[in-house]
Amino acid sequence: MLRTTQWSLTSPNSARSRCSLKPVWCLRFGTVPQAERLEAFQPTGDPYTDELLSLGIEAGLHRIGCTDASPLIEARTAIEQRIDGGLQDEMQFTFRNPNRSTTPNDALDGARSIIVAGLSYATPDVEPPFAVSGRVAKYSWVEYYEPLRRALTVVRDRLRSDGHRALVFADDNSIVDRAVAHRAGIGWYGKNANILVPGAGSFFVLGSVVTTAKLATSSIVDDGCGVCRRCLDGCPTQAIIEPGVVDARRCLAWLLQKPGVFDRRFRVALGDRMYGCDDCQEVCPPTTRRQLRVTPPEGARPWVDVEALLEMTDEELLDSVDWWYVAQRNPDWVRRNALIVLGNVGELGSPRVREIVATYLEHPDPMLRAHAVWAAARLGLHELIPIHDTAPLVIEELRDLPEVRTTRAN
């Protein structure tokens, strides 16, 4: 007999933070349904489908569902609208070819069904351990997509052994993972554009098994955001311009990956972030108050030593962040970000910080010199700034130096 696996979840400080009016939080957070536990999946009533879903849970997945493989028309329309409005900036991924990423049959000829799953990365916070610590978004503490792929492969192999064709897709631009996750009942679209899993929130990596098997479909989850708008108000750069719509040109997670000069308007707002940004999830009540908490895997790196990183060779640096997306695998984009973080949170008056900044002010790459100029100004090291540097990028920085930092930037 098949059994739906469940995890009981508890809110931190629940007696103090819960409203007495169940099953919603008090109105200061908006009327938000309060799911008491995470259900691994909704039984579909079809024995074979439910057996496959149960197999995925046994393989280590936390939430799983199923949808058909028809085109993702709503997702395609949304992508095209964002492209027309320039909201995707230079981001490629599923924006590169909207027709392909929203047509599952392009991923697997003859596709009829998609099993979609989520793996939680809702790990507890860790205190910064270094003199200058750079924050890493939770989804990149380790390579979470590898265990996700392994678990999905168990389901794929079962389908193949039963005579069906099946392929695994995770962190892949062949399919819009949030769109199929929503349709497969994994969760609802939050106003922060993430998929919010009932009873657990949004700290999940998503992946799929596209197959030629005809399977039963899961029910779509009702929207649970209510009138809450904490993510819109909590974004440090106001990148969420309307519910569910993110302007990549303002999103710190994208700006950290984007090649070129980091937009000056958002450097102070970057604070100590080295890779990714969790702010719109960390303020979300369904995520912070009802999450499936997992233990950080071995090798998890929630922080990086910014000073040490800026002293590494190219090979050492890339090895230290090997699961991050780094454009063209060019370590200088990581160094660029690190210089901004150093300017924001580096210890004022530190000899080591001063030495690092001085080194980068003489770097052969004008892009790095330009960001070192900004960091030097933030740290009050104006005497180090090369005012006669003739590189256009450096001249631009010299024309618009930031104010000296007196406290640590958040």
Q: Where are the domains of the chain?
A: 6-211, 237-276+310-399
**pLDDT average, residue stretch 286-292:** 79
pLDDT attached to residue 9: 29
- Whether the pLDDT of residue 84 is over 90: the answer is no
Digit-coded pLDDT (tens) for 259-284: 999 999 999 999 999 999 999 999 99
**CA nearest neighbour of 367 among 329, 325, 337:** 337
Pair 252, 266: CB distance under 8 Å: yes
**pLDDT average, residue stretch 68-85:** 92
Digit-coded pLDDT (tens) for 321-358: 999 999 999 999 999 999 999 999 999 999 999 999 99
pLDDT attached to residue 288: 87
- Two tokens, residue 203: 């700290």
pLDDT band at residue 294 using 50, 70 and 90 as cut-offs = confident
Torsion on CA atoms 386, 388, 394, 397, rounded to nearest 10: 80
**CA nearest neighbour of 37 among 51, 58, 23:** 23
pLDDT band at residue 99 using 50, 70 and 90 as cut-offs = confident
Give the active site residue among 89, 106, 157, 171.
171
pLDDT attached to residue 31: 44
How far apart are the C-alpha atoms of 247 and 34, rounded to whole Å?
Answer: 29
- Whether the pLDDT of residue 247 is over 70: the answer is yes
Longest Cα pair distance anywhere in the chain, in angstroms?
A: 77
pLDDT attached to residue 15: 30
Digit-coded pLDDT (tens) for 150-161: 999 999 999 999
Residue 297, judged by CB atoms within 10 A of its CB (0-12, 13-18, 19+), counts as middle
Query: Quick check: is 171 catalytic?
Result: yes
- Whether the pLDDT of residue 391 is over 70: the answer is yes
- Whether the pLDDT of residue 245 is over 80: the answer is yes
- Whether the pLDDT of residue 10 is over 70: the answer is no
Amino acid at 131: A
